[in-house]
Amino acid sequence: MKPDVKIITQISPDQSVICILGNNTIPVNLSLSKSEMEYARKKLSEKEEYVFINSYFKCTYLVRIKDDLPEFRQKEELRKTAFSLRKLIKSNCHNELVITSHKAFKGAIESFTEGLILSFYSFEKYKTNEEKNDNKHYPEKLFLNGVINDADLKWLVETTDAVYLTRDMINDPPNHLNASALAKEITRMGKIAGFSVDVLNKGKIEALKMGGLLAVNRGSVDPPVFCIMEWNPANKANSKPIVLVGKGVIYDTGGLNIKTGDFMAYMKTDMAGAATVAGVIYSAAKTSVPLHIIGLVPVTDNRPGGNAYTQGDVLTMHNKTTVEVCNTDAEGRLILADAISYAGNYNPELIIDIATLTGSAAMTFGNKAIAIMGNAERKYFSLLEECGMDVFERVAELPFWDEYGELLKSDIADIKNVGGREAGAITAGKFLESFTEFPMIHLDIAGTGTLKKDDFYRSKEGPGSGLRLLATFLKKLSTQYQDKNR
């Protein structure tokens, strides 16, 4: 259960408080006794990450900002400290908690609160025992006191809501969340946030001749869907839409090139890109981002049953390109390719796809960075890099030279769906590039979107990687357009 968050202007002496300190001075409005003050100063001088004071009738948590870091790193350290504090906060069973600051930089309260809320997340939908409501001991209310306005609060609340919704979708197992169920959830989100959702069934997908999506679906008993989301506000600042494309492989067995060992263990998260796109558009709509945004999500699972597609098949894609299938476990790029070519119908300014696509990206960057590549203008890459630092969903660019595309040449078709073991993340991106003539950026979240253990507030329970990055990117991009149009 996500806490309710509100702004307050005053702190009463009996309220439990988290105070973020810009230096080692402690404000008098925390109402600490002389001995408590002395204890706190001593601990702060020892450069403790945080100091906890139990006054019996209230609790005080003092959080020290690491002043030897750039501001974007200070923000991240506050989010991580919030994660470190979550168990202590939970053990104290606060019904409500105040978060304030003293001589801290603007945004410190929001960064800490964001880390705390994301650390509270727990997926308990299918728990039936006493652990079901294990997070009920977290505060139901968070009161923010400091330099924060209503717009900042709304952004914080709605983006963390979007992360929760995205994590819920990623965590839901495929026997409950198949393709049609995911489409229903996205439709529900659209009704809540105010964006339109059109769900194309298998018949319409066949009429559009989306050969990649249909091929991957052939081994499944569940039909595919193709979800089209649109946020088109009256005050949009862009003349051409930004199109987001998310990989929606509900579960990936590898198909006939079946995954071995434990490589299948986390494959319910292979639709993280699709969930993230839905979450980003939800966030944009709820916060009224003045941009025209389209979201495209092709959805199916990849199984070896029925008339499953095979190594050696030749597929005809939505844009009539023929593809030789060299590995049925390279299915994500096939369904994305159909969606990316379909995106051309909107004459987009920019296409950004996001996907748990290649083990190569995970091996290259681990869980520390999102692999990014593409052919769009440098201004978009620069803004994504800036936003990645700000929310600490960092991007690391890979080269995108034409020579990598040559590794995809086929003897019997226009292109192969894999280019060999070398440069696997890049050739996957080059494969996608061949399905559009519009500027595109490819984000591979294979390393950051599926975690085997918590990475601080980035929960192993579907971290929702890329959502905060793209939401912030769209927000800042809209501001740039508005400034330019003034």
The tens digit of pLDDT for each residue in 1-31 reads 799 999 999 999 999 999 999 988 899 889 9
Summarize the confidence of residues 302-320 as an average pLDDT: 97
- Cβ atoms of 299 and 182 within 8 Å: the answer is yes
Inform me whether the pLDDT recorded for 287 exceeds 80: yes
Mean pLDDT to the nearest integer, 196-202: 98
**Confidence tier at 135 by pLDDT (50, 70, 90):** low
Q: How confident is the model at residue 336 (pLDDT cuts 50, 70, 90)?
A: very high
What's residue 80's pLDDT?
97
List, in sequence order, every beta strand (DSSP E) within 311-369.
Answer: 314-316, 322-324, 350-355
Q: What pLDDT score was predicted for residue 137?
A: 80
- Per-residue pLDDT for 483 more than 90? no
Is the Cα torsion angle 212, 216, 218, 223 positive or negative in sign? negative
- The pLDDT tens digits for 103-114 are 999 999 999 999
**Domain ranges, ordered by start, for the chain:** 4-148, 172-485
Give pLDDT, residue 318.
98
What lies within 8 Å, CB to CB, of 208 at 6+ separation is 200, 226, 318, 338, 342
On the question of pLDDT at 205 being above 90, the answer is yes
Least confident of 65-74, 81-90, 112-121, 273-282: 65-74
Class of domain 4-148: alpha beta
What is the chain's mean pLDDT, rounded?
95
Q: Specify whether the CB–CB gap between 356 and 276 falls below 8 A.
A: no
Count of alpha carbons within 13 Å of 190, Cβ hemisphere only?
21
Residue 132 has pLDDT above 80, yes or no: no
- Token pair, residue 134, equals 């294990």
Quickly state the pLDDT bin for 136 (edges 50, 70, 90): low
Is the model's pLDDT at 67 over the cut of 90? no
Question: pLDDT at position 69, please?
Answer: 93
- What is the CB neighbour count within 10 angstroms for residue 483? 9
440-444/370-374 β-pairing: antiparallel
Distances (CA, A) of 264 to 74, 176, 255, 276, 320: 37, 18, 11, 21, 32
Handedness of CA 167, 169, 174, 176 (dihedral sign): positive
CATH superfamily of 172-485: Zn peptidases (3.40.630.10)
Active site (catalytic) residues: 259, 333
